Structure 1
Amino acid sequence: MKNTIKVMFFAVALMFSAFTMAQSTVTGTVMDADLNSPLPSASVVEKGTSNGTTTDFDGNFTLTTQSNSGVIEISYVGYGKVSLPFSGNTNLGNVSIASENALEEIVIVGTGVIDLAEGRQTPIAVSTIRAKEIQEKIGSGDITTSLVNTPSVYVAGQSGGFGDSRIAVRGFEQDNTAFLLNGQPINGMEDGKMYWSNWSGMNDVANGIQIQRGLGSSKLAISSVGGTVNFVTKTTDKREGGFVKTTVGNNNYLKTTASYSTGLMENGFGVTALLTHWQGDGYNMGTFGEGQTYFLSFGYKPNETHNFNFLVTGAPQWHDQNFSKSISTYLEKGRKYNDNYGYLGNQYLTERRNFYHKPVANLNWDYTINDNMNLSTVLYASWGRGGGTGGRGNKTRTADGLINYNAIHASNNAIANGEGGYFAAGGGYVTRASMNLHSWYGLVTNLEVDLSENLTLNTGLDLRTYQGTHFRQVENFHGLTSWQENIRLVDQNNDHQTYGSFGTYKNVVVTEGYAANPWTATFNTVSEDQRIAWDYGETINYGGLFAQLEYANDNLSVFFQGAASNQSHQRTDRYQYADNELISQVEADTNADFVNPDTGESITDGTEAEKVSNFGYNVKAGAGYIINENNNVYVNAGYYSRQPYHDNIYLNFTNQVNPLTENEKIFGLEAGYGYSSPTFSANLNLYRTSWKDRVTTSSDTDGSDNLIFITNEGVEQLHSGVELDFTAKVMDKLRLKGFASMGNWEYVGNSRTTTRDEENNVLSFEEEDVDGGKVGDAAQFTAGLGFVYQVAERFSVDADYRYNDNLYADVGAIKENLELPSFDLMDLGLSYKMLLGESDNRSMSMRLNVNNVFDSVYISELSSANQVEAGDESFNGINVNNRGYFGLGRTWNFSVRYNF
């Protein structure tokens, strides 16, 4: 018996010894192939066993295997699976795992200035949309539609025409959300606004979009209230190849795209080019559009230390526009009705056309100084040329409400010598174009230093200079030979009083104009003596410093971030102010000194306004903790002191400086919980954002022609809410995703309006209680559920359902806002990929989208808040006298793409 036990112990010991000798240690780092960033919580399993682990914050893993050789399988929810062999102790290095929504593998540059969430280990509220999903689902829509299935996001304005959508994040409009292109700020420098028609090419060149709600991870000296949206474009593809793609859709939509890349060649160079043309009639009447996209990227990687990439892209386009109308008008004439156009004989003409071309160029340089130090720099420029048209003069309409161009031409032809004019005896009508030109140059640079194994410092610069020019010109004379406008000037010493004693002494007669075409606008600008209505510009210079310090170990991450900036503004008005040349001319004509009739002081050149500078700053801090391999929590806080926009500094588009503007104050708190496993991941976020000290001021004159200032000192906006999003791999062929967000966005306190004289003495004060009034223009409750099901190999079907509720009219701060009816929408898609060779390099892909499958009728936005009173007609409980837009009905698009 004893011998038997000894043999058994010996056998067990031998087996254990053999097993121990067969074990190996496998290490590596799992990276997102699209965004070149670590993937935390990815699943790492020894094939054929249940032995596995997950990656940490940095995407790192260490796995002790049960055998000395075999295969490691790496997977992540929403990504493909990678299988790699190992033998003995093995370091797999960086393992790139491609999203199931991935496009071509690319070379990412500027990683230090492209502020993706993965660039900082402390978590934030974030959603990422991959290239394949952008390409497949947008169809003929704006790039904003790629974000509709994420929490706390609402997209409106789509009924206006191609590129006229608007996006709100956590209830804050897009001038209070920061938008970045490869680390380059792209919000308008004057007012923070975004015009998505200028970025129609983003659909074609975006490799990924990441929306960071709330405080975000941006290191720049920017102070966004709602969040930050990062657009990461293609750069230079690693492999040689290309594609050709054609898309057709409702209302004669047609789009063709071609792209080719040399790949990254042995000499370190690579070139990728893309060209697109699109056109369509638009969903509503009179909303035709046409445009192109070009993209050219040069990559050069001379060695492992340096990586360069230069790209230039642009999207010249024109589109005709639809404006909001009363609900009663839509009910009478149809939801697609638009009255901004008409016919001259059988020729279609529109009064409202947007046309613009905004080339963007940037040079990225990544410099690996040593193992612990990296420098990333982007030098960028953009040049905007274009504007929007409208009518000027006497307009007539047909019986059905369209513009009567036949009558207009007949009236213009009756004017003597064809010499029309605004406020002149000639009268008549022209189509004018309000032109907005700019030249914008900037530099963003970031130095990252690993101070120790756990401590990282980022510091950098954000420099920008912006020159804008704004004027009106004649776009179509409609048979006239000239157009005259009479201008009464003011000067810097007395901004708001004209010099009646000198009469009207500046007459502008124009005979030249250019068509509303983006390419024409790019290469042609009318001279100053051919401009009407206004002609002014601004110079804005911005300089910012930012720094971030982060400590992270296996379980804990803590960061502190700060930024400071100074912004200077100067306005120049070449139209309504008297310059020295004109003053001399007037003095010669009148044989009198040109003086202020009130003070007797000599009048000097008033074209250049006082220069104004403002200092701003922001601070952010947060911490994240990994409870275990599946659970993590975080908390972040931030305070912003944000400078006022340029358009709030100068009053009523004059050179008069607003003496009452001050920095806006934003304070944000957020906390979250995340769960992740190989088959299910979810994030829960809580937030509270307070926005104070907004000041808007206008000016006027009283009955005695004395200057007065009317100031709305604003009210506090308090936005709080909860957000949930999840993805689940139910089975190998079925993946679910969903989201829900519930916000409470309200005005706090009273709205205060103060009237002051030029000495800042209070003339009157009015206070209105708006406490608890609902913030409008975005649904405060949203929820959605989507799925992707693989019917067969390379054939899948997907659908997205979303519900919108607690949507209010966009009317500013009022106590009793008007709530719009809730609505839900369903989108459906089919995808099929056919291989034409042994790999995915040659394939044919087909995609069908049907949006708003059930053709739901809903009001997407209102710009008035008239309640239903006794005797009023209503539609779904809404007074039909309210103005706004119905949402788009059922639309569709189908695309075919050939990869080679």
Structure 2
Amino acid sequence: MKRLFQKMQLNNAKPLLFSACLFPAALFAQQKNDTISKPEVLEEVLLTGVRATKQTPVAFTNVESEELKSRNLGQDIPTLLNFLPSVVMTSDAGNGIGYSGIRVRGSDATRINVTINGIPYNDAESHGTFWVNMPDLVSSVENIQVQRGVGTSTNGAGAFGASINLLTDGAKEKASAEIANSYGSYNTWRHNVKFSTGKISDHFEFSGRLSKIKSDGYIDRSWVDMKSYFLQGAYQDDNRLIKAVVFGGDQQTYQAWNGLEDKEKLKNDRTYNTAGEMYDKAGNFVGFYKNETDNYKQDHYQLHWNEKISPFWTTNLAFHYTIGKGFYENYKNDEDLSEYGIPAAEVNGELRETSNVVRQKWLDNDFYGLVFSANYKRKGLNVVVGGGLNKYEGDHFGYITHASDVPVADFPHPYYFDSSTKTDANVYGKVNYQLGSAWNFFGDLQYRRVTYEANGNDTGLVDDAFDFFNPKLGVTYNVNADNSLYLSYARANREPNRNDYENGNPEPEALNDFELGWRLSKDKLKLNLNAYYMRYKNQLVLTGALNDVGSPIRENSGDSYRLGIEADATIIALDNLIIRPSVSVSRNRNVDFYAQRDGELKDLGDTKIAYSPEVVFSNALTFIPIENAQISLLSKYVGEQYMSNLDLKDSKLKSYFINDLNASYTIKPEKVFNAITISALVNNIFDEKYISNGYFYSFDDTWTDPNKVITRDGAGYYPQATRNFLIGVTLAF
């Protein structure tokens, strides 16, 4: 923490600095001297290939683990990052635990590149990031960097809206242990225990964490039962760091991805969950299926070798392997048996071609590879060369485990199998050149090759290869010690994902990203102002519709763009009062958009891009009444947004404004414990009934009037929790 205080350089504000370390939304971190710029800190050398520094002409925010502690009471990482610039988070269960998502600049999770210690985390096929598989991961994270826009070259799928880089806990000098427990609304419990041996013989360190999180969820039956672990062993001397990291999660959740279409229920019974509804032959509701669940286990293995070869050269080599396996189970009413390869059967003299069935859809996959980088730093020159080679192998298969109306001899009855293979290789070179004290020039060239093969019933036969060249150029001008300006251009290309192939013949998408920024850093005022213009070709925009397992459907939109301004600041108003506002104003458009409506292909002109609010505002007001205590009011406004690209009123999500109250107090006893920290969080203190996410779909009605085609529309919504609380106690030894 002392190092963090020194970086902030806020004179005569020691109590204030303590609060800044604990405060959950550090929006000013772009100005901090980035720790990875110190070559002697081998813990963070492994991120030199994927992270931005203050010399990099891109918009980014760093968040230290200390800044998240008071709010880290069991909610997912998207919830904890909700108050960063241009961020909108969503939660299927409504309370930020379980299946949660994050959007940045209107780009959904499939377009946000996520790495953990520089290793790709996005699912190779869907491009999604499933935080539910890594519950309580933030308790083992040292810091997080969020880059907006294309950012710098990174491993894994291309960043089309943002990238999120997580660095897990570093080796600790001293032995320590920690027990944390929290409880809150909807019978939410979190328990975790952490330990570190500290340095043994000045070189070795072992540490770990075990966590368990359970919650009933805000939405009916949206319960979660999640477990996770984190283990690492490290060897470190003056010139090398070898670290083995193993972490994983095991989760079971009741499905809440259906949303709610019934507007009457949305008004009077907004927690109603349609998942698992069961009906008899006459169509009468008879109850809910108890095992309408998602079940998945994922384990990650990483081995990192960081070497300081000379005063000017450092290298990083990392091997990784991820194994995941699981299924979700559904009760399906009145299904056509032929779709499952089950023949019609005569039962009591009646031919049965349909039946209520229970099905399981399985995924069994392996993801492995290596990433590497070498960093040369001398005087005003900083060069990084690196790359990665990764391979994904996944099997998708399904079973019918029960059919209510027909005899089936071979339960569980297999009904599909799909095998997929994907390879992803990239090499890049980055240069930062400091010319005098004023100018810094940045260049970043990446070549990426992707091959994807699939042979399933859903995707059809896929055998595609993509070659992408992604250049990035920029310049930073230091006006004086307090002010700097930057300008950058970046090109990004991105392949379609599995769902895109299932829904048609998608084209790869391309993006040209222009960024212009100003950074001001004074003792009591830090300000970031960034303007961007992101021009897309064949952007795979969300249509608003979902497939049968709740995954968003996308389509190529031709030409489109995002134009916006982002501003965030840290203002020290008083010695015990900090204000941290951020605001994003944007224009997001599909250019000359065409859509099939009422049996005709219609030119709708320029339309708004789905799920892209034009105004996003947040503010964090922190008051420090006494030393070791802080109270924060966290506010978030998200403007209205459309769930389709058609500018239809029925697809509009209303704007919302919510406020959370966060408080913490640390006691430092003289015996037994090093510290006892009590934290409390009241979410949505004004009890707003808001909706942060939904879906929209259209279909052609050809039966009402046989002579006409009428396009009908529908929408569903994901209500978010009203006022709720979490309270926790952390005992540090």
> Which of residues 196, 210, 223 is equivalent to 2:131?
196
The whole-number CA distance in structure 2 between the counterparts of 1:886 and 1:194 is: 21
Contact 1:221 1:565 in 2 (8 A): no
2:338 aligns with none
SS in 1 for 2:608: coil
> Which of residues 162, 182, 191 is equivalent to 1:247?
182
User: How much does 1:837 deviate?
Assistant: 2.1
Within the alignment, does 1:811 sit opposite 2:663 as a pair? no
Q: For 1:73-84, list aligned pairs within 5 A.
A: 78=20
Q: For 1:273-292, list aligned pairs within 5 A.
A: 273-292=208-227
1:561 aligns with 444
1:780 aligns with 614
> Which of residues 307, 311, 325 is equivalent to 1:371?
311
User: How much does 1:555 deviate?
Assistant: 2.3
The whole-number CA distance in structure 2 between the counterparts of 1:342 and 1:73 is: 55
> Which of residues 406, 425, 431 is equivalent to 1:549?
431
1:832 aligns with 665
Q: For 1:57-68, list aligned pairs within 5 A.
A: none
The whole-number CA distance in structure 1 between the counterparts of 2:196 and 2:17 is: 29
* Paired residues, number: 675
The whole-number CA distance in structure 2 between the counterparts of 1:295 and 1:361 is: 10
Q: For 1:607-756, list aligned pairs within 5 A.
A: 609=461, 611-648=463-500, 650=501, 658=505, 661-694=506-539, 714-751=557-594
> Which of residues 571, 583, 586 is equivalent to 2:454?
571
> One-letter code of the match for 2:425?
G
User: How much does 1:546 deviate?
Assistant: 0.6
Contact 1:156 1:861 in 2 (8 A): yes
Within the alignment, does 1:183 sit opposite 2:122 as a pair? no
SS in 2 for 1:197: helix
Query: Structure 1 residues 220, 625: closer, same or farther in 2, change over 3 A?
Result: farther
Query: Structure 1 residues 259, 471: closer, same or farther in 2, change over 3 A?
Result: same
The whole-number CA distance in structure 1 between the counterparts of 2:243 and 2:729 is: 30
The whole-number CA distance in structure 1 between the counterparts of 2:581 and 2:368 is: 40
> Which of residues 709, 727, 730 is equivalent to 1:894?
727
1:465 aligns with 391
2:326 aligns with 386
Q: For 1:205-284, list aligned pairs within 5 A.
A: 205-220=140-155, 222-284=157-219
Contact 1:326 1:880 in 2 (8 A): no
User: How much does 1:800 deviate?
Assistant: 0.6
User: How much does 1:381 deviate?
Assistant: 1.2
Alignment TM-score, normalising by the size of structure 1: 0.69
SS in 1 for 2:422: strand
User: How much does 1:259 deviate?
Assistant: 0.9
Within the alignment, does 1:802 sit opposite 2:673 as a pair? no
List per-residue Cα deviations over 1:597-630 (Å, max 9, x = no partner).
xxxxxxxxxx995643211120101111111111
Within the alignment, does 1:43 sit opposite 2:9 as a pair? yes
User: How much does 1:811 deviate?
Assistant: 1.9
The whole-number CA distance in structure 1 between the counterparts of 2:555 and 2:288 is: 44
Within the alignment, does 1:443 sit opposite 2:295 as a pair? no
List per-residue Cα deviations over 1:570-622 (Å, max 9, x = no partner).
2234x79xxxxxxxxxxxxxxxxxxxxxxxxxxxxxx9956432111201011
Query: Structure 1 residues 325, 804: closer, same or farther in 2, change over 3 A?
Result: same
The whole-number CA distance in structure 1 between the counterparts of 2:273 and 2:297 is: 25
2:420 aligns with 538
List per-residue Cα deviations over 1:624-673 (Å, max 9, x = no partner).
1111111111111111233333554x5559xxxx5xx5432200101111
Within the alignment, does 1:852 sit opposite 2:684 as a pair? yes
Contact 1:569 1:646 in 2 (8 A): no
Contact 1:359 1:384 in 2 (8 A): yes
Query: Structure 1 residues 98, 693: closer, same or farther in 2, change over 3 A?
Result: closer
Question: Unmatched 5+ residue regions in structure 1?
Answer: 1-29, 49-71, 81-95, 100-105, 396-413, 418-422, 485-508, 513-529, 577-606, 697-710, 754-764, 867-878
The whole-number CA distance in structure 2 between the counterparts of 1:664 and 1:325 is: 32
List per-residue Cα deviations over 1:697-740 (Å, max 9, x = no partner).
xxxxxxxxxxxxxx976322210110110112223322221111
SS in 2 for 1:236: coil
Query: Structure 1 residues 126, 714: closer, same or farther in 2, change over 3 A?
Result: same
1:822 aligns with 655
User: How much does 1:222 deviate?
Assistant: 4.7
Query: Structure 1 residues 117, 332: closer, same or farther in 2, change over 3 A?
Result: closer
> One-letter code of the match for 1:792?
I
2:545 aligns with none
Q: For 1:468-483, list aligned pairs within 5 A.
A: 468-474=394-400, 477=402
Contact 1:114 1:182 in 2 (8 A): no
User: How much does 1:783 deviate?
Assistant: 1.3
User: How much does 1:213 deviate?
Assistant: 0.6
User: How much does 1:191 deviate?
Assistant: 2.6
| Same amino acid, percent of matched pairs | 21
Question: Unmatched 5+ residue regions in structure 2?
Answer: 23-31, 36-40, 280-285, 336-344, 542-553, 699-711
2:27 aligns with none
SS in 1 for 2:46: coil
Query: Structure 1 residues 294, 862: closer, same or farther in 2, change over 3 A?
Result: closer
The whole-number CA distance in structure 1 between the counterparts of 2:430 and 2:613 is: 34
User: How much does 1:247 deviate?
Assistant: 0.6
* Higher relative strand content: 2
The whole-number CA distance in structure 1 between the counterparts of 2:209 and 2:346 is: 50
Query: Structure 1 residues 203, 76: closer, same or farther in 2, change over 3 A?
Result: closer
Alignment TM-score, normalising by the size of structure 2: 0.84
Within the alignment, does 1:453 sit opposite 2:379 as a pair? yes
User: How much does 1:235 deviate?
Assistant: 3.8
RMSD: 3.8
The whole-number CA distance in structure 2 between the counterparts of 1:336 and 1:74 is: 41
> One-letter code of the match for 2:242?
F
User: How much does 1:792 deviate?
Assistant: 1.7
Contact 1:642 1:664 in 2 (8 A): yes
Contact 1:219 1:547 in 2 (8 A): no
Within the alignment, does 1:430 sit opposite 2:357 as a pair? yes
Contact 2:245 2:302 in 1 (8 A): yes
The whole-number CA distance in structure 2 between the counterparts of 1:44 and 1:861 is: 39
User: How much does 1:479 deviate?
Assistant: 7.8
The whole-number CA distance in structure 2 between the counterparts of 1:138 and 1:44 is: 26
Larger RCO of the pair (alpha carbons < 8 Å, separation 6+): 2
SS in 2 for 1:132: helix
Contact 2:45 2:306 in 1 (8 A): yes
Query: Structure 1 residues 312, 623: closer, same or farther in 2, change over 3 A?
Result: same
Query: Structure 1 residues 510, 802: closer, same or farther in 2, change over 3 A?
Result: same
